Structure 1
């Protein structure tokens, strides 16, 4: 029963996030500001999260090639975060939606999101070890945290399709 309730909450939060997307301002400067604000809010939540001592990111660094890879990585790592963390999942989903709308408006039809992880990538490695849930959850959090920190330091990536 608890899992059903959590699934419904995640669905509602994702539907709410998707419902707010059409209300984004058409002003590109305002959109970028909103994306960076949401990204920083999520980054703050992940930085404040307590992890076991000596836990570091495992595997190769993520290749951020612009909006397409950023959206794709957030989706992949977001799927690895447990459903019990509804707020983090909802924030990732919302940010991903804003980035998708930005990509659609900024890049047009050329900005396609890739659909499969590169062989040997960190995301593919984590997805293959999904059965080790606690370790994978921590790694997914750390990866999202690194992606958001990179976005914060390199806001120009939002202009790269």
Structure 2
């Protein structure tokens, strides 16, 4: 784990996460079997919309680390929503793996030559996104702090 933390410090984790999300947003409109982009399918817009939560969390994480601030309830709520989005990421990872393994079912059809290279790239991007999401949550815990809101109001004098 220390090796990963040395290779991907928090700034690089945020930058690589943004790049991976941007690539996966583009590939969410791509059809592997047909080698074309589908912009009018409503299902293709689910991943880009859900990734907005992830991008918001990355921005808040960057801001909190840069300004040396503590966690707040808004950040906690965004992270809890990110847990749900993470479940969708897991689903999309297994879906891309299923598409790659279903190649033998369509042997009688014309499959584009880009099926395996792009399919493996999309699968690896999904796996990388899972790891980067967990790493960003770890950096939030290590660098910003835990969510301790029960004790927070006891040390504030509201009359000052």
Judge same fold: TM > 0.5, yes or no.
Answer: no
**Higher relative contact order structure (alpha carbons within 8 Å, sequence separation ≥ 6):** 1
Larger Rg: 2
The two structures have a TM-score, normalised by structure 1, of 0.39
